[in-house]
Amino acid sequence: MRAAIAGASGYAGGELLRLLLGHPGFEIGALTAASSAGGRLGTHQPHLPQLAERVIEETTADTLAGHDVVFLALPHGHSAAVAAQLGEETIVVDCGADHRLADPAAWQEFYGGEHAGTWPYGLPELPGQREILRKATRIAVPGCYPTSVLLALSPAFAAGLAAPDVVVVAASGTSGAGKSLKPNLLGSEVMGSVSAYGVGGGHRHTPEMEQGLSTVAGQPVRVSFTPTLAPMSRGILATCSAPAAPGVTKESLRTAYEVALKGEPFVRLLPEGTWPATAMTYGANTAALQVTLDERAGRVVAVIAIDNLTKGTAGGAIQSVNLALGLPEELGLPLTGVAP
């Protein structure tokens, strides 16, 4: 299979390339970008020596044509126009936000502009989602934060163990913000400091979390979400809690998670007493998850670690593509993290 990557000079693009280089089912075709077009990939992705001499092309329908799979790692609002020019024989994977939300009003409120429509949501671990993805030719890759939150709380909501009043506080590495030249992303500002942003319900991933959890719960779930920026390049640690349903015990909670996660190749419920660290998942397509009942406060508390660029973006994208192509779901995706 030949894969093209639009947005090859960015962080998501680089991670797609890193993983595809280790994937036995793919040959890397066109590499495209906007302002970096014309340069060598090695300038932007010096950790990928095999592709150092490859020239970056403009992102156009022409350069992306003739591939079996096209990965779009573009700023939000840019995917729909490109995708419209690619036929149904091409699997198009949108790593951006354009096709995630089903509700045009939510799109309008959080992103603005016209809604591009909804594509199959690329989180195979959601109930019933694998079947949907097996027939997909268009895939909307979940946001990195929603990936973490949906994996962490779906088992509780699917089993009816939590009330629909969720609080999430998550710490993300700086690569989640992309390669943007903003003062607050400078190393001097970031190192030695944790900061909050998008507080109070304004982060664009909020409606996506609510959409996913509501579907799983079968009732509207609201989420109070606060993202924070931590001094690391990669990783998300999300602490997610909701009021426990009446009668829930630590044991019933753990059993529900064990049942829900049985056979999942990438989501690991940690041994009791062990809590997630993002280092457990660095560079891997895995999630490290733990759940407990805070009896004092009456809340289900689930904590999850993922790599925002791997399971949270590029690895999750390839996992869904594996399904869409009829390949083994785990093919080419790293289970081992890089630590320490």
CB atoms within 10 A of CB 154: 24
Per-residue x/- mask for its own copies, residues 50 to 89, rule CB under 8 A? x-x-------------------------------------
Listed residue (66, 49, 267, 301) closest to 168, CA to CA: 301
Q: Which residue number, 80 or 238, has a Cβ lying nearer to its own copies? A: 238
Q: Under the criterion CB under 8 A, does residue 325 sit at the interface with its own copies?
A: no
Q: Under the criterion CB under 8 A, does residue 261 sit at the interface with its own copies?
A: no
Q: Under the criterion CB under 8 A, does residue 137 sit at the interface with its own copies?
A: no
Q: Which residue number, 22 or 127, has a Cβ lying nearer to its own copies? A: 22
16, 56, 70, 144: the catalytic one is 144
Q: Under the criterion CB under 8 A, does residue 193 sit at the interface with its own copies?
A: yes
Q: Using the CB atoms, write b or e for 233-245: b if 16+ within 10 Å.
A: ebbbbbbbbbbbb
* Catalytic residue flag (residue 95): no
Q: Using the CB atoms, write b or e for 17-43: b if 16+ within 10 Å.
A: bbbbeebebbebbbbbbeebbeeebee
Q: Which residue number, 128 or 200, has a Cβ lying nearer to its own copies? A: 200
Q: How far apart are CA 203 and CA 201, in angstroms?
A: 6
Q: Helices 144-158 and 206-217, interaxial angle, to 10°? A: 20
Minimum distance, C-beta of residue 207 to its own copies, in the bound complex (Å): 9
Listed residue (125, 167, 159, 164) closest to 142, CA to CA: 125
Q: Under the criterion CB under 8 A, does residue 192 sit at the interface with its own copies?
A: yes
Listed residue (33, 35, 27) closest to 14, CA to CA: 33
Q: How far apart are CA 94 and CA 84, in angstroms?
A: 12
Q: Under the criterion CB under 8 A, does residue 112 sit at the interface with its own copies?
A: no
Q: How far is CA 183 from each of CA 174, 186, 187, 188, rounded to the nearest angstrom?
A: 12, 5, 9, 9
Residue count, binding to its own copies (CB under 8 A): 90
Q: Is the peptide bond before 340 cis (omega within 30 degrees of 0)?
A: yes
Minimum distance, C-beta of residue 275 to its own copies, in the bound complex (Å): 4
Interactions with its own copies, residue window 146-185 (CB under 8 A): 165, 167, 169, 171, 173-175, 179, 181-183, 185
Minimum distance, C-beta of residue 96 to its own copies, in the bound complex (Å): 18
Q: How far apart are CA 275 and CA 279, in angstroms?
A: 12
Interface pick for its own copies out of 23, 299, 320, 333 (rule CB under 8 A): 299
Per-residue x/- mask for its own copies, residues 210 to 249, rule CB under 8 A? ------------xxx-x-x-xxxxxx-x-x-x--------
Q: Under the criterion CB under 8 A, does residue 301 sit at the interface with its own copies?
A: yes
Token duo for residue 232: 């690391």
Q: Under the criterion CB under 8 A, does residue 21 sit at the interface with its own copies?
A: yes
Cite the active site residues: 144
